[in-house]
Structure 1
Amino acid sequence: MTQKIKLFTAGDEHKEAAFLISEIEKLVGGFHNLTGDNTHRDSSYGFSDIAVLFRTRAVGQSLLASFKQSGIPVRFGDASSFLSEYPFHLITDAIKLYLNAKDMIALDCLLTNGLKMGKKEKQEFLSAHPEEKRLAALLGEQDLAGAGAESTVKCIFERFIPEDTLDDTGLLRKEAILATAAEYGADIEQFLYKLQLDTYTDVARIKTDAVSLLTFHASKGLEFPVVFIAGAEEGITPVSRKDTDIEEERRLFYVALTRAKDTLFITNARRRKGFREIEEKFLSRFVGEIPSSLTENVQVVRKPPKPEQMRLF
Structure 2
Amino acid sequence: HLVGGTSHREIEQLTAGEQGIFSLGDIGVLYRTGRRADIIGDALFKHGIPFQRVGLEPFYLKNPVKLLYLWALVAADLALPTDLLPLIAREPGVGEKTLRVVEEALFSSRNPLMDFQRLADKKERFKQAGTRFKNLREKIQQVSEKKGVAAGLSTVSVYYRLADEDPEVQRFFRLAGSVGDTLAGFAEYLQENSLSIAAEPPGEAVTLMTLHAAKGVEFPVVFLSGLEEGILPLQPREQLSRAAFTAHIEEERRLFFVGITRARHQLYLSRSTAECRNGRPGFGRPSRFISEIDSSLLKKPQQRRKRTKRYKQLSLFPNP
Question: TM-score of the superposition, structure 1-length normalised?
Answer: 0.51
1:63 aligned onto 2:40: yes
Partner of 1:25: 12
Give CA-to-partner distance per residue, 1:67-98, whole Å, 9 cap, x none: 122210001125897xxxxxxxxxxxxxx9xx
- Is 1:277 the counterpart of 2:262? The answer is no
Superposition CA RMSD, Å:
3.3
Question: Secondary structure of 1:269's match?
Answer: coil
Q: Give structure 2 stretches of 5+ with no counterpart.
A: 59-85, 87-95, 101-190
Structure 2 equivalent of residue 299 of structure 1: 302
2:269 is the counterpart of 1:246: no
- What's 1:113 paired with? none
Picking from 213, 217, 225, the partner of 2:220 is 225
Deviation of 1:20 (Å): 3.4
Residue 210 (structure 1) aligned with residue 208 (structure 2): no
Query: How many angstroms apart in 2 are the aligned matches of 1:19 and 1:270?
Result: 11
Residue 29 of structure 2: aligned partner: 52
- Separation in structure 2 between the aligned mates of residue 79 and residue 66 of structure 1, nearest angstrom: 23
In structure 1, what is the Cα distance between the partners aligned to 2:290 and 2:229? 10
CA–CA separation in structure 2 for the residues paired with 1:66 and 1:246 = 30
8 Å contact from structure 2 (residues 27, 221) kept in 1:
yes
Matches within 5 A, 1:87-166: none
Q: State the distance in 1 between where 2:214 and 2:229 align.
A: 21
Bigger RCO of structures 1 and 2 (CA < 8 A, at least 6 apart): 1
Compared CA separation, residues 281 and 308, structure 1 to 2 (3 A): same
Asked whether the equivalents of residues 200 and 218 of structure 1 are also in contact (C-alpha less than 8 Å), the reply is yes
Aligned length, in residue pairs: 182
- TM-aligned CA deviation for residue 308 of structure 1: 1.6
Sequence identity percentage = 34
Which one has the largest radius of gyration?
2
Distance 1:300 1:69, change over 3 A: same
Under a length normalisation based on structure 2, what TM-score does the superposition of the two structures give? 0.50
Q: Could you say which structure has the higher strand fraction?
A: 1
The 3 A distance-change label for structure 1 pair 290 and 200 is: closer
Other-structure match for 1:74: 51
Q: CA deviation at 1:285?
A: 0.4
